[in-house]
Amino acid sequence: MFTSLRRIIKSGFRGFFRDGGLMVATIFVLILVITLATSLFLFSGVSKFIIALVEEKADISVYFKEDVMEIDIFEVREELVKIPEVKGIKYISQERALDDFIERHKENPVLMASLAEVGHNPFLASLNIMAFDPGQYQNIVSFLETPDFTTLVEKVDYYERRPVIERIFSITSTANKVFIFLSIILAIVAILVTFNTTRLAIYNTREEIKIQRLVGAGSWFIRGPFLIQGILAGILAALICLALISLATWFLSPRIEVFFPGLNIFEFFSINLWQIILIQFATGILLGIISSFLATRKYLRV
């Protein structure tokens, strides 16, 4: 048994280097496939970050009348927290609202002069409310429109922001569906391309396979070297891809972070390094084995 296994491995290595041109083509295709699989994994993490960032903008604000005490606002917040639809609540005091306005518009002399002309803080204390789903905001607004709160609430900006909120959640939902669809399509294409490339390599040795068959060689003895070649191609492609992805994430990370502060793809890559290595080697080796197995079926008549 061990003698046959040693011969299979030796034959696999010999065939790998003998069919150098086709193996290079196979490795190239596998690199593309593994890069695609890794990119999909990275894109999944990046898309979750971007979607979360966008959804943070999809909130409503409840503004309270100027004479409402802060303790009363906190009591309203405690009641809102009990609503299942509420994902998070942020309190913004009058002073904080004024400071935020000054920080945003300090370079605008007209607005700063208008604010000075008013002579007092014109901003109202508010609660920024985020729901799990855009359809849930109506329930929250209905809760705030009950008689218990109408004496405290000056206005709720939900009806002004509803089109924007619904648009944001529609975009994020569509992005998730497109991601799943592309993953399925690209995975199918990758398998077909790898299979045909491997089949071409086996086609060149079809006569050798027929001769081995005639002299009584078993199916696994004939198939074994091609499986070894597939494993070698997968491992080599995974190593090359790992190096390329590492360099790409390191190079692109600071440039992407300029547009999306807080999004460091190299850090994400480093944190998930072992998971990415597993994905790359599993993808490369499995594709090599499966493609070699299927491609030899025709000649072995299994």
Give the pLDDT of residue 302.
44
Q: What is the mean pLDDT of residues 13-27?
A: 68
Q: What is the mean pLDDT of residues 157-178?
A: 68
pLDDT tier at 186, thresholds 50, 70, 90: low
Q: Are residues 30 and 84 part of one domain?
A: no
Domain annotation covers residue 158 = no
Q: Are residues 242 and 133 part of one domain?
A: no
pLDDT tier at 18, thresholds 50, 70, 90: low
Q: What is the mean pLDDT of residues 170-199?
A: 69
Q: Are residues 145 and 218 part of one domain?
A: no
Q: What is the mean pLDDT of residues 170-176?
A: 69
| 105 within 8 A of 112, measured Cβ to Cβ | yes
Q: Between 154 and 54, whose confidence is greater?
A: 154
pLDDT digits (tens, 9 = 90+) for 123-164: 888 888 887 776 677 788 888 888 877 778 888 776 666 666
Give the pLDDT of residue 40.
75
Q: Are residues 281 and 213 part of one domain?
A: yes
Q: Are residues 197 and 240 part of one domain?
A: yes
The whole-chain average pLDDT of the chain stands at 75
Q: Are residues 23 and 135 part of one domain?
A: no
CATH number for position 84: 3.30.70.3040
| C-alpha span between 201 and 25 (Å, rounded) | 9
Helix/strand/coil percentages in the chain, nearest 5: 75, 5, 15
The boundaries of the domain holding residue 37 are 2-54+169-300
Q: Which of 231, 211, 203 minimizes the C-alpha distance to 8?
A: 231
Task: Give the end of a domain, one of 100, 121, 151.
Answer: 151
Q: Are residues 280 and 190 part of one domain?
A: yes
| C-alpha span between 227 and 219 (Å, rounded) | 12
Q: What is the mean pLDDT of residues 217-222?
A: 62
